[in-house]
Amino acid sequence: MAGKANTMPVISKLYCSSSQVVLAVRRRPHVVNGGGFVVTDCSQMVVFRVDGCGVLGTKGELVLRDGNGDALLLIRRKGGMVEALSIHKKWKGYSFDYEGSQKLVFTLKEPARSCLSNNNAIRISTEPKSSSKQCEYEINGYFPDRKCSIIDSTGNLVAQVGVKKEVEELMASKDVYQVVVKPGIDQAFVFGVIAVLDYIYGESTRC
């Protein structure tokens, strides 16, 4: 019998499954509802949705919501003079507690625009919870091609972005793709990272 997967909550253990999960992502057109994307499970139930600047009206800001529309993550691109001079731009993801206050849960380092190539890894660090230590992740592959993965510091696969062959043959665009999330991994964290990747590469969350 296989051992139980270790849960690695970043936002909440509610979003950590004991088994592998395959979720579908569909981009929303800007002209209809301001862009962003919707995440559904195998039953076509909405699990998450992401609002970008077309909805929020603020550049460099994203919100990840649950299936009921409640905000789970506020993600902001850090600004300022020091940041402008830095090689790496940073995005910070904040969760909301029951009182509505924000808590930093992850930081993503975005390479300079000239470095956005297939071989340049984007790195993410998570803030430690009381019972865990800080974890480091990086993106392998190239998100615009829908061929990339999130791996941890030991090289273990955390989540994989891809397109089903039959969908790829029917659609020239990359508006529909799937994300495979490994057991024990926080799905809300994974889609928070994907929301930032979407924005970095100028896709549905960006104005």
Residue 190 reports pLDDT greater than 90: yes
Q: Domains of the chain, with CATH numbers?
A: 16-111+118-199 (2.40.160.200)
Using an 8 Å Cβ cutoff, are 179 and 22 in contact? yes
Structure tokens at 180: 């495979």
Q: What is the pTM of this model?
A: 0.86
State the pLDDT confidence band at 6, using cuts at 50, 70 and 90.
Answer: confident
pLDDT in tens, 89-130: 899 999 987 666 789 999 999 876 544 454 567 999 998 665
The pLDDT score that the predictor gives to residue 82 is 45
- Written as one letter, the residue type at 75 is I
What's the chain's average pLDDT? 82
pLDDT in tens, 119-146: 567 999 998 665 566 689 999 999 999 9
Residue 4 reports pLDDT greater than 80: no
Contacts of 153 (CB under 8 A, 6+ apart): 135, 136, 137
